[in-house]
Amino acid sequence: MRKQRAHQLATSFLCSLFSVCLSQSIKADVVYNYTGDSFTSYSGTYNSATETNITATLTLSSALGADFNGTVAPASVVSFEISDGSLMLTNTSLDITPSFDFVTNGSGQITGWGVSVIQNISPPAWTRLLTESGADESVACGGGPVGEDCIPFVGNAEVDYSGNQPGWTESAVPEPRFTVILGALLAALAVTIRRKATSPVK
């Protein structure tokens, strides 16, 4: 009888654990990564020894999904970072203006994009890191309207793709609270079963 009660209790706990795991997995963040080819064109103060290529990581609260075509809502962006090998801009960087536009196919794979992060260094100077379908670019401007033609121009590095541009990879990462809840439930399960198994039968 004692073992049967312990077994029933264990089964009940495992069912609860499975439900929690399932609900937390559904809420897992989705990480998109991009690594562009090396820049092939330089001008101004930029050079291959410092500015190398564009890399980007974008973490969203949920996947873009199938047949998406538009701008990612700011509320869906958990974090991001984009770099040209010398400068890295993230969601915690000061004075930035990010923009994330994507197109996905019926399977949810990214087929088109325009990702841009602009930082106002000390207005009117600004920098921009960009990856889009067909090109990657890093540009520094000494003045002029933000995001428009540079006056004066400081530096630029870019690579144009006539084909075979690297794509984005996608991976799901469980939220930290999922691991905490899972560990707590497993510990509670072990303690409860041990106590029930060693308690006298009434």
Domain spans, the chain: 30-175
Q: Are 34 and 54 in contact (CB under 8 A)?
A: yes
Burial of 168 (0-12, 13-18, 19+ CB in 10 A): buried
Distance CA 41, CA 52 (A): 10
Distance CA 183, CA 177 (A): 10
Per the listing, tokens 């602009």 go with 118
66-118 confidence digits (pLDDT tens): 999 999 999 999 999 999 999 999 999 999 999 999 999 999 999 999 999 99
This model's pTM is above 0.85: no
Structure tokens at 78: 């958990």
**pLDDT band at 13, cuts 50/70/90?**
low
Q: Count of CB atoms within 10 A of residue 98's CB?
A: 20
**pLDDT band at 5, cuts 50/70/90?**
low
